Structure formats: C-alpha cells, structure tokens
Amino acid sequence: MRKHSVWIRAGVLVAAGGLVLAACGGGDDEGGGTGGSTPGAVEIPTTTDQLFYPSDKKGGTLKALSGSDCDSWDPARTYYATCWDQQRWISRSLLNYKQAPNSAELVPDLATEVPTSPDGGKTWTYTLKDGIKFEDGSPITSKDIKYGIERVFATDIINGGPTYVIDYLQTEPAYEGPYKDPSPDKLGLTSIETPDDKTLIFHLNKPFNDWNFIMASPSATPVPQAKDTGDQYTAHPVASGPYKFDKYVPNQSLTLVRNDQWDPATDEVNKALPDSIEITMGLEAADIDNRILNGDADIFLDQTGVDTALRTQLLSDPELRKARTTVDLSGFLRYMSVTTTVKPFDNIHCRNAVAYAVNKQAQVLARGGPTAGAPAPTMLPPTVAYYADFDLFPTPNSAGDIEKAKAELEACGQPDGFSTKLTARGNRPAEVAQATAIQSDLKKIGINVTIEKFDSSQYFSAVLGIPKNMQDKGYGLAMTGWGADWPSPYGFFSSIVDGRKILDQGNSNYAELNDPVVNKGIDDGLAATEDGAAQTAWTTVDKGVVQSAAYIPLIYDKAMNIYSDRITNVFFTPGFNMVNFAALGVVR
C-alpha cells in the first residue's frame, strides 16, 4: 500500500512539474506545438491599428491576473515588458509614450518637454514640471531622478534591470552607486548635473540619439533617497504616478489605490480611470482564461495570449471572438541564428541554403497558426520605427524553395548535405515544435539536424551566450527570439547584430555576425538626425543582416488576448510591446 501510494504521488508530482514548467516556459509561447487547424480568414480586432471601447468614465476596480509576480517592483530592477507597463500605474518617468494606438511617439511626463540634444546626442537637458509630488506629499526634484538613476550603478544590490544608463553615463573613475558614494549627499555621479531642483543636465560619454527612450523607461523614475530601502525597495516603491501600493503580498496579490498626491493637472498622459487595481498573481493559464471569460477578471497582464483550449473555442465562435478578444503583434521576432564560426556555416552559401529551405508557414503553424504569428521576411518587426517591407529570400507562399536551397548547397561545396546541431528551449513546447519543423525542412536538402534541448533558465547564459561553447559543441543553428527594449531600430539591433559587441560571456550576437556594412549602418542610423537618412541607414542594416543569412527571421509574434466585457481603452503601445495598461478603464 505504502509503495503504491508513493508511486502515485511521485507520478502526480512529475506530471505536475511538467505541467507547471510547460506553463511557466510558456511565457511568450502561444501554445502547444502542432497547430494543425488553420482557421482560414479570421476576423479579429487588432489593437495595433485602432483603439477599442474608448471611454473617459472613471470608477470601478480593474481586476488583473498574471502568471507570476513582477521580476521586481523596484523601477531600477524590473525588465519584463509587462512590468514596465504596470510600472506606469505607480511611477512616472521624465518622458512617456503617447497614449494612441501603435504610437512610439514620446511625450513629456515629469519633464516639461521632449528635448533635443544641441551637440549631436551628448548633452540632454530636462526641466521638471511644477506641482509634481511623491505619495507622501514631498515634491519631486531633479535630485530624486538623479538618485534613481544612480541606484542602477550599484549593480551588486540593484540588479536585474537594464543598464543602459551605466553604458552612457559611466565616468572615469567608475561610479559604483550611491551606497558606496563618498560624497555626503550621495549624488556624486558627475555626468548628471542638477543645478537646481527643476533642471537635469545629462553629459553622455558618447553620442546617443535614442537617449529620450531611456528617459521614458523605468530607469528614469524618481526615487526619494530618504525612502530608499536598497534591495527591499520592491516591497513598497514610493509612488509618483496616479496609484500607490495599498496591500502587497509578494507572488500572491497587489492592490493599488489612488495616490491623492498625484495632480492630474501635471499629467497629460495618464487618465487614471479605475478607482483601484487588484492584481492576482501566480495563476495557471487555463484558470486565467476562464476567470476572464466568466467576468471574474478584466485582463491578463502577461499578454501572451489565450491558452490552447480557449483558442480552439474562440476560433469556432466568431461572436465571442469579436466581442472579447484582440490580436496584437507583440513586437517580438522569432528567428534562428546560424553560427558563422561553426563549419560549414562559415560559408555564406551554406547559410543561404538554410534560409531558402525554411518553410515559414510551417513555423507559424508550429506556434499555433495565424493568431500566433505571421511569416517574417525582415528582422525589424512592423511595430518598430523605420520598419521597411522587403524579402531577400522570396519563396512561394513563404513555404521554402528546395531547388534554390540545393543550388546554394552546391555552391557551398556540400551538394550531398551535412550534419549539424540545432539548439532550442526544451521547456517551451512551441519552440520545440518550431525546431522540429526546421529539422524536417532541412532534411529535404540533405542537412541532418540533431535538436539539442536546454532549460530556458540556462539557455542564454550558459549555452548561446558563450561563443566558445557554441563552437566547441558545434551548435550551427539556434532557435531564439527578441523584442526591443524601446521601439527604435537601434534598440532592436544594437545588441543582437553589432559585430563589435561580440562578448566571451553574455553574448547576444549568437551567430557572431561581424559585417562592416551592418556595423556602419548602425552607426549611421544612430547618428542620423533626419528621417530620410535614418530610414536608409536602418534598412541597410536590416537588409545586411538578412542578406548575411547569419540570422534568419522566422515569425513576427502575435498574441490573441481576451478581455472582460467591461474593459475600456484597449490599444497597443510599441514601447511596452503590448496593450497600454495605464489607459485601461472598466466603465463603458
């Protein structure tokens, strides 16, 4: 009996582990594998081009659900797109994104205007508005914003968030954050000047025309020094936005209530419609869908789309689909890197062969069909500025071209094909399905692919991020995906294709592409001051990357999301790569 019951429980536990891991890995996975059912022409509201259920009515409680708690509520330590979006309920930055569908336009938030740099991107000056206050009533000054940025430099305590401010503001000798700051006011970072309480002057160590985007990210959130609790700050970040923490139980729930010190007259961006916001965390995907479907909740904050079961139901119920869902581009590109330092992929013709052989329609199906994505001919997704449509490896219906692929193999001197390895995240079913589809595509031209699976927690740090490891193990192909930290082509490209950013550890240019045309294009694009030049430069980069076949764009990700029947102001903001939460209301 004992043995029996132990056996049962062990089985249950393993099953549970699998279930949960699949769900967690699902983070940005649209669903399991096979896809099979092509729903034909599905008419689904798309937030990327319009605003749904506009309303200015205040009141009510927005009930939100999430698969897990934020990586951190500390503005300096959060890196999940959904959490940056949620931050806007409680915190304001110098700048913000305009609240309009698919708008990457920056507007002033705590600052009075969006500045331009007088010297080609090295100096940036911001002036603060009057009447801006923290939740405790104390005024927000330029020093609070400087202090908030300084915290990012204390990487041994404040880590996990983006470190762009360190890249551009680090001084000589290196600043190590306010906790080790010898100056009495802890404001020793010389690259930021605060001549008075209203003015901030940034002196960057190199020109950077995208700086305003960084100042629209949580890194530019004011933090009052007196209330800074170091690595505990996530327990109660001091609100500068329209809502503040009321009750927070980490990993379980968070209630936000109105911040009575927030003055709507100082804020053109936030409408702050709901009276309160309740977030319930750590729920299972199917449970989340059903709660929203039944009106127990309004929105799924992860915005990774509905689970397989509900998707099937929605695809067969046009009325429900129209009334309760939207399909959103996620600003995320699924692509495959072809390691240029692993033979025979050092030869461009062998890479071209792969680029021609891949069936992108099969990739879309592997991720769950047209509601999960669209075939991608370019690296830049359509949500990023300066996106241009082109196809350098045209194949019939994006389904691959065996003849052209074989001709390239011939040119590569491998007419009979060869063997190579493809890496993927084993706990992401859709990615494994993608890898399997590629395996069968390449089989057709004689390339035998062995799929090697890794856990997602180790995938980038221990496998793809170490070039020597890729070379030693002979990982010629790798499945991956990427979304930009801000909706500009520089934000999208800089760390993944710049040949000068290949690192021994923590590398993001997995294919080790080092193409002078691409590198120069990035510099040109960054330096460009007018739209025409920028467009030319970034299209050159995009084309250069695709042409190199070191990276093969596969899918522009999409997600079909479900909402309650009372939610208002649903639209997509590229800066968060999802629906803008701060605009949502619950009274129609």
Partner 1 sequence: MAGFVIRRVLGGIVILWLISVITFLLFFLVPKTLGSNPAILFAGRSPSEAAVAAVTKKLGLDDPLVVQYWNFLKGIFVGRHYNAGPDTTYCPPPCFGYSFKNSQPVWDEITRALPITFSLALGAAVLFLVSGVGIGILSALRRGQLIDRAAMTLALGAVSLPVYFTGLVMLLLVSYEWRLFPNIHYVPFLDNPLLWARNLLPAWIVLAFLYSAMYARLTRASMLDVLGEDYIRTARAKGLPEHQVVGKHALRAALTPVVTIFGLDLGSLLGGAVLTETTFGFRGLGKTSIEAISTGDLPTILGVTIFAAGFVVLANILVDVFYAVVDPRVRPT
- The DSSP output letter for 94 is S
Considering only the stretches 108-116, 126-134, 148-156, 200-208, report the one whose residues sit in contact with partner 1 under the rule CB under 8 A: 148-156
Task: Give residues with Cβ within 8 angstroms of 525, minimum separation 6.
Answer: 386, 489, 490, 534, 537, 538, 541
123 vs 163 by CB, closer to partner 1: 163
CB of 130 to partner 1, least distance (A): 35
Interface with partner 1 (CB under 8 A), residue from 194, 290, 341, 361: 290
CB of 506 to partner 1, least distance (A): 5
Considering only the stretches 262-270, 285-293, 347-355, 357-365, report the one whose residues sit in contact with partner 1 under the rule CB under 8 A: 285-293
CB of 389 to partner 1, least distance (A): 31
- Does 323 contact partner 1 by CB under 8 A? no
Interface with partner 1 (CB under 8 A), residue from 37, 183, 458, 529: 458
Beta bridge pairs of residue 570: 52
Q: Which of 529, 457, 525 is nearest to 494 (CA)?
A: 525
Interface with partner 1 (CB under 8 A), residue from 93, 102, 141, 234: 234
- Does 296 contact partner 1 by CB under 8 A? yes
283 vs 554 by CB, closer to partner 1: 283
Interface with partner 1 (CB under 8 A), residue from 193, 231, 275, 523: 231
- The DSSP output letter for 120 is S
- Does 180 contact partner 1 by CB under 8 A? yes
Say if residues 96 and 88 touch (Cβ distance below 8 Å): yes
37 vs 505 by CB, closer to partner 1: 505
Interface with partner 1 (CB under 8 A), residue from 230, 318, 394, 415: 230
Task: Give residues with Cβ within 8 angstroms of 104, minimum separation 6.
Answer: 97, 383, 384, 385, 487, 488, 574, 575
- Does 533 contact partner 1 by CB under 8 A? no
- DSSP class per residue in 341-389: TSTTTTSHHHHHHHHHH--HHHHHHHHTSTTTEEE-SSSS-TTSTT---
C-alpha–C-alpha distance, residues 248 and 235, integer Å? 7
Interface with partner 1 (CB under 8 A), residue from 140, 297, 362, 438: 297
Considering only the stretches 225-233, 389-397, 542-550, 573-581, report the one whose residues sit in contact with partner 1 under the rule CB under 8 A: 225-233
17 vs 118 by CB, closer to partner 1: 17
CB of 1 to partner 1, least distance (A): 6
C-alpha–C-alpha distance, residues 530 and 384, integer Å? 17
Say if residues 160 and 72 touch (Cβ distance below 8 Å): yes
- Does 320 contact partner 1 by CB under 8 A? no
Write out the binding residues for partner 1, residues 1-20 only, by CB under 8 A: 1-2, 5, 8-9, 11-13, 15-17, 19-20
Write out the binding residues for partner 1, residues 36-95 only, by CB under 8 A: 68, 72, 77, 79
Say if residues 256 and 248 touch (Cβ distance below 8 Å): no
Q: Which of 512, 418, 432 is nearest to 471 (CA)?
A: 512
Dig out the tokens for 178 from the structure.
């306010």
Number of residues that bind partner 1 (CB under 8 A): 64
116 vs 458 by CB, closer to partner 1: 458
User: Which CA distances in Å does 260 have to 136, 223, 264?
Assistant: 9, 18, 10
C-alpha–C-alpha distance, residues 447 and 402, integer Å? 12
C-alpha–C-alpha distance, residues 143 and 187, integer Å? 8
Dig out the tokens for 247 from the structure.
């009750």
Binding residues for partner 1 (CB under 8 A): 1-2, 5, 8-9, 11-13, 15-17, 19-21, 24-25, 68, 72, 77, 79, 154-157, 159-163, 166, 179-180, 230-232, 234-235, 249-253, 280, 282-284, 286-287, 290-291, 293-294, 296-297, 427, 457-458, 461-462, 465, 495, 505-506, 508
